[in-house]
């Protein structure tokens, strides 16, 4: 028998999906970080880097259900460091958005914002459907559990392997020609 799947305090399974990513994952996307709705996600401790519309639409079409909560790996700008991430794709029923968004919360404390920097992501799996909530606290609690789910689920070897995918490497520095004139 395989060992029992650990549960969150709220009773959700902390490991989701198969032992390795299955189609359509992994899904790759990149784009420059946009300004979002400035709803104070940052003040709530859960800043989300918003993908440009084309990237959001690409992700929504590539992942299994068009909207939902997903997890994977992310890197930013010229930095090669790869971090775990959780992502919300959809219309945020709690806030009644009119456009589809893909918002990435990187599981790392950054010293500075990175608007306009390139965000590269590898989506490795699905966590849950988007929900509507009666309180902001309930939404925040679920996001905190999503973070735990991502951390646990990414430890499996086939998921960990994608952390070193070449797609997440920053673009090579601009080269200069032999006499340095370009
Ligand atoms: P917005 O409504 O503009 O998306 P947020 O409150 O969601 O504002 O903050 C998002 C911004 O915070 C990101 O665009 C990024 O520049 C910055 N940021 C800092 N730390 C993180 C993080 N760990 N994950 C995602 N974004 C972060
Ligand atoms: N918004 C919703 O309306 N329903 C959700 O179920 C939901 N889940 C989320 C899960 C994660 C991991 C993240 C990062 C965001 C989620 N959001 C959800 C989006 C949230 O409403 C948005 O980030 C707000 O801007 C938070 O203030
Ligand atoms: Mg945001």
Quick: pLDDT tens for 149-165.
999 999 999 999 999 99
| Residues carrying an active site annotation | 103
Mean predicted confidence (pLDDT) in 35-56: 88
pLDDT band at 59 (very low <50, low <70, confident <90, very high): very high
What's domain 27-168's superfamily in CATH?
A: Riboflavin kinase-like (2.40.30.30)
Residue 131 alpha carbon, nearest atom of ligand 2: 6
- pLDDT score recorded for residue 66: 79
Q: Using CA atoms, how far apart are residues 37 and 97, in angstroms rounded to an integer?
A: 10
Residue 42 alpha carbon, nearest atom of ligand 1: 6
Q: What is the pTM of this model?
A: 0.93
Q: How far is the CA of 3 from the centre of ligand 1 (A)?
A: 37
pLDDT tens for each residue of 2-36: 779 999 999 999 999 999 999 999 999 999 999 98
For residue 89, which of 98, 76, 77, 102 has the smallest C-alpha distance? 102
Which residues lie at CB < 5 A from ion ligand 3? Answer: 36, 48, 50, 103
Find out whether the beta carbon of 106 lies less than 6 Å from any atom of ligand 1: yes
Q: Tokens in use for 4? A: 């029992």
The two beta strands, 101-106 and 49-50, are antiparallel
Q: How far is the CA of 181 from the centre of ligand 1 (A)?
A: 38
């Amino acid at each position: 028998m395989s060992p029992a799947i650990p549960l969150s305090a709220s009773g959700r399974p902390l490991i989701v999906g198969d032992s390795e990513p299955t189609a359509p994952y992994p899904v790759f996307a990149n784009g420059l970080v946009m300004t979002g709705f400035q709803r104070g996600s940052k003040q709530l401790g859960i800043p989300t880097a918003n993908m440009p519309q084309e990237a959001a639409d690409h992700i929504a079409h590539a992942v299994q259900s068009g909207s939902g909560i997903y997890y994977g790996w992310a890197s930013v700008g010229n930095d090669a460091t790869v971090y775990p991430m959780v992502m919300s794709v959809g219309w945020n029923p709690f806030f009644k958005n009119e456009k589809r968004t893909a918002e990435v919360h990187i599981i790392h404390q950054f010293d500075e914002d990175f608007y306009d920097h390139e965000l590269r992501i590898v989506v490795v799996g699905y966590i849950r459907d988007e929900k509507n909530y009666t309180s902001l606290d309930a939404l925040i609690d679920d996001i905190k559990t999503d973070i735990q789910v991502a951390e646990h689920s990414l430890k499996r070897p086939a998921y960990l392997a994608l952390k070193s995918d070449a797609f997440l490497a920053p673009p090579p520095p601009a080269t200069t020609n032999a006499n340095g004139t370009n």
